């Protein structure tokens, strides 16, 4: 029997060169894995099987100090690896955080020359992404923030960030790249406080941009959990606004450092509701795993990590379908959701509707006495997630 959890390219699972290629460095220790070349990472993804595509930062592909000849060779090798593994590039982004020039931010830096360099580097990275057919362009403000608020005016920081995105939207249109921009929030790490700390902050910014239709968000599980927020709700807000342009799947214990764990490995119940949301709403974007294998992993274990990320998603997708078709769940949902066409009609504002509503008598005891069997519903959900239903 074929494995029902075997991923297929149409599932749109993607990985970054920096995720499966992560060398296992942390603030306390040196790398535990060798640095594989971009082509070797693409070969590894081919071996994983069922992957849709690969994503990169400009410098994951072309080191910041590469000569033109070196860059051309790396690009040729990468293109050949994509071809032999039947993989494509889906998303590209710029590294605006690693180089010490960005020690105090990129688009929000206090230094006009650093801000100009950030635009220069991003345009070149957009050219590189477009060369490989990337559709989505992610902005993660890795160093956009402060340790001390004495250093910057936070209102000015928002304005500087907006100016940069407006500039780059126009550049994308001018070049005919057709990018959709996805803004990625994070509350802290590496900065003490990062601007736009949660997805909601970007959702509030987008309508004020010059080309709001080109710009959406790239929420990440770990980032919202680091802020103590419900990730599924953040994604729902983006979906409802038509702004979910990309997603970074990984996992994270609440209250810990940025762990970048394998999707679903820390909080399987949250992962279930997330997958259910994406599938119920038929979201068809790239499901990108922005996570690292444990520092203890060797190459085989990195392959297991990549397979496990997709497998967990596919198991949860099946569980979500099961939940939707379970007769006990359906029965409970009917009990919970009381509908009334008369009251629905009154919910549309008219002067007469307002008067009718104001004049109505409500029996508060009757309302409060109605049963809401959420314990039963939640345990049923647990049974389904745990595979005993
Ligand atoms: C992080 C971020 C990054 C970004 C990536 C793309 O916490 O380091 O999630 O991995 O997603 O840089 O811009
Ligand atoms: Mn992250
Ligand atoms: Mn991310």
State which ligand 1 atom lies nearest to the alpha carbon of 18. 10
333 lies in some domain: yes
Structural domain range at position 210: 9-325
- The C-alpha atoms of residue 94 and residue 56 are separated, in whole angstroms, by 8
Q: Are residues 143 and 234 in the same domain?
A: yes
**Is 378 assigned a catalytic role?**
no
Residues contacting ligand 1 via CB (< 6 Å): 93, 138, 140, 184, 186, 220, 248, 258, 290
CA of 126 to the centre of ligand 2 (A): 21
pLDDT per residue rounded down to tens, the chain (389 residues): 889 999 999 999 999 999 999 999 999 999 999 999 999 999 999 999 999 999 999 999 999 999 999 999 999 999 999 999 999 999 999 999 999 999 999 999 999 999 999 999 999 999 999 999 999 999 999 999 999 999 999 999 999 999 999 999 999 999 999 999 999 999 999 999 999 999 999 999 999 999 999 999 999 999 999 999 999 999 999 999 999 999 999 999 999 999 999 999 999 999 999 999 999 999 999 999 999 999 999 999 999 999 999 999 999 999 999 999 999 999 999 999 999 999 999 999 999 999 999 999 999 999 999 999 999 999 999 999 999 99
Q: Are residues 313 and 375 in the same domain?
A: no
Provide the pLDDT for residue 1: 80
Q: Are residues 281 and 335 in the same domain?
A: no
CA distances to 4, 11, 280, 281 from 317, rounded to whole Å, are: 11, 11, 10, 12
Provide the pLDDT for residue 29: 98
CA of 57 to the centre of ligand 3 (A): 11
**Got the DSSP string for 226-277?**
HTT--HHHHHHHHHHTT-B--EEE-B--TTSS---BPTTSS-HHHHHHHHHH
Residue 303's nearest CA partner among 31, 19, 5, 63 is 19
Q: Are residues 295 and 343 in the same domain?
A: no
State which ligand 1 atom lies nearest to the alpha carbon of 19. 10
Phi–psi pair at 194, nearest 5 degrees = -105, 145
4 lies in some domain: no
**Is 365 assigned a catalytic role?**
no
Provide the pLDDT for residue 317: 98
Q: Are residues 230 and 356 in the same domain?
A: no
Q: Are residues 174 and 117 in the same domain?
A: yes
Instruction: Give the Cβ contact number of residue 284 at 10 Å.
Output: 9
Q: Please name the residue whose Cα sits nearest to atom 4 of ligand 1.
A: 140
CA of 44 to the centre of ligand 3 (A): 21
Q: Are residues 204 and 352 in the same domain?
A: no
2 lies in some domain: no
Phi–psi pair at 235, nearest 5 degrees = -65, -40
State which ligand 1 atom lies nearest to the alpha carbon of 258. 7
Q: Please name the residue whose Cα sits nearest to atom 12 of ligand 1.
A: 140
- The C-alpha atoms of residue 220 and residue 288 are separated, in whole angstroms, by 10
Partners of 257 in beta bridges: none
Residue 283's nearest CA partner among 326, 324, 317, 330 is 317
State which ligand 1 atom lies nearest to the alpha carbon of 140. 13
Q: Please name the residue whose Cα sits nearest to atom 8 of ligand 1.
A: 142
Provide the pLDDT for residue 305: 98
Q: Are residues 96 and 121 in the same domain?
A: yes
Domain boundary among 283, 299, 325: 325
3 lies in some domain: no
Q: How many domains does the chain have?
A: 2
Q: Please name the residue whose Cα sits nearest to atom 5 of ligand 1.
A: 140
Q: Are residues 182 and 247 in the same domain?
A: yes
CA of 139 to the centre of ligand 1 (A): 9
Q: DSSP character for 370?
A: S
Secondary structure of residue 15 in the 3-state scheme: strand
- The C-alpha atoms of residue 317 and residue 284 are separated, in whole angstroms, by 14
| CATH code of 163's domain | 3.20.20.150
Provide the pLDDT for residue 111: 98
Can you tell me which residue has the tokens 């992404």?
129
Best of 94, 140, 202, 248 to mutate for ligand 1, by most ligand atoms within 8 A of CB? 140
Secondary structure of residue 5 in the 3-state scheme: coil
CA of 364 to the centre of ligand 1 (A): 50
Q: Are residues 310 and 371 in the same domain?
A: no
- The C-alpha atoms of residue 59 and residue 79 are separated, in whole angstroms, by 16
Q: Please name the residue whose Cα sits nearest to atom 2 of ligand 1.
A: 140
Q: Are residues 261 and 376 in the same domain?
A: no
Q: List alpha helices for the chain, DSSP H.
A: 17-20, 38-48, 58-61, 68-84, 112-131, 154-175, 199-205, 221-226, 231-240, 268-280, 299-325, 327-336, 341-346, 351-359, 364-368, 374-385
Question: pTM here?
Answer: 0.97
93 lies in some domain: yes
Domain boundary among 307, 325, 343: 325
CA of 375 to the centre of ligand 3 (A): 34
State which ligand 1 atom lies nearest to the alpha carbon of 95. 12
CA of 226 to the centre of ligand 1 (A): 14
Q: Are residues 321 and 332 in the same domain?
A: no
Q: In this structure, which ligand is nearest to the CA of 55?
A: 1
Q: Which listed residue (57, 223, 225, 288) is catalytic?
A: 57
1 lies in some domain: no
Q: In this structure, which ligand is nearest to the CA of 194?
A: 1
Residue 52's nearest CA partner among 383, 387, 288 is 288
Residue 373's nearest CA partner among 342, 332, 345 is 332
Domain boundary among 279, 300, 325: 325
CA distances to 13, 41, 144, 341 from 96, rounded to whole Å, are: 25, 22, 9, 54
Buried b (16+ CB within 10 A) or exposed e, 57-94: bbbbbbeeeeeeeeeeebbeebeebbeebebbbbbbbb
Q: Which listed residue (60, 104, 248, 267) is catalytic?
A: 60
Phi–psi pair at 81, nearest 5 degrees = -65, -40
């Amino acid at each position: 029997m074929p494995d029902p959890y075997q991923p297929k390219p149409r599932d749109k699972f993607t990985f970054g060169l920096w995720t499966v290629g992560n060398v296992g460095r942390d603030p306390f220790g040196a790398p535990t894995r060798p640095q594989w070349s971009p082509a070797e990472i693409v070969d590894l993804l081919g071996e994983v099987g069922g992957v849709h595509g690969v994503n990169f930062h400009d410098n994951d592909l072309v080191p910041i100090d590469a000569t033109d000849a070196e860059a051309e060779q790396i690009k040729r090798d990468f293109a050949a690896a994509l071809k032999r593994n039947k993989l494509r590039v889906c998303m590209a982004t710029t590294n605006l955080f690693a180089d010490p020039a960005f020690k105090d931010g990129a688009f929000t830096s206090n230094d006009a020359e650093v801000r100009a360099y950030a635009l220069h580097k991003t345009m070149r990275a957009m050219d590189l992404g477009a060369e490989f057919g990337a559709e989505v362009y992610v902005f993660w403000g890795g160093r956009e923030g402060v340790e001390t608020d004495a250093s910057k005016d936070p209102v000015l920081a928002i304005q500087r960030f907006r100016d940069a995105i407006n500039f780059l939207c126009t550049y994308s249109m001018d070049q005919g790249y057709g990018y959709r921009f996805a803004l990625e929030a994070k509350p802290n790490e590496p900065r003490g406080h990062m601007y736009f700390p949660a997805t909601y902050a970007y959702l509030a910014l987008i309508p004020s941009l010059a080309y709001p239709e080109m710009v959406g968000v790239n929420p990440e599980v770990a980032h919202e959990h680091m802020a103590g927020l419900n990730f599924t709700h953040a994604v729902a807000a983006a979906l409802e606004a038509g702004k979910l342009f990309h997603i970074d799947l990984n996992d994270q214990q609440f209250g810990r450092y940025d762990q970048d764990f394998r999707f679903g490995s820390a909080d399987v119940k949250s992962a279930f509701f997330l997958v259910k949301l994406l599938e119920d709403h038929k979201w068809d974007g790239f499901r990108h795993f922005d996570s690292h294998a444990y520092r203890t992993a060797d190459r085989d274990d990195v392959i297991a990590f990549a397979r496990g990320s997709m497998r967990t998603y596919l198991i949860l997708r099946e569980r979500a379908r099961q939940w939707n078709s379970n007769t006990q769940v359906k029965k409970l949902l009917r009990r919970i959701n009381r509908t009334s066409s008369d009251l629905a009609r009154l919910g549309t504002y008219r002067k007469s509707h307002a008067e009718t509503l104001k004049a109505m008598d409500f029996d508060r005891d009757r309302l409060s006495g109605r049963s809401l069997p959420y314990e039963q519903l939640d345990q049923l959900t647990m049974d389904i997630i745990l595979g005993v239903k």
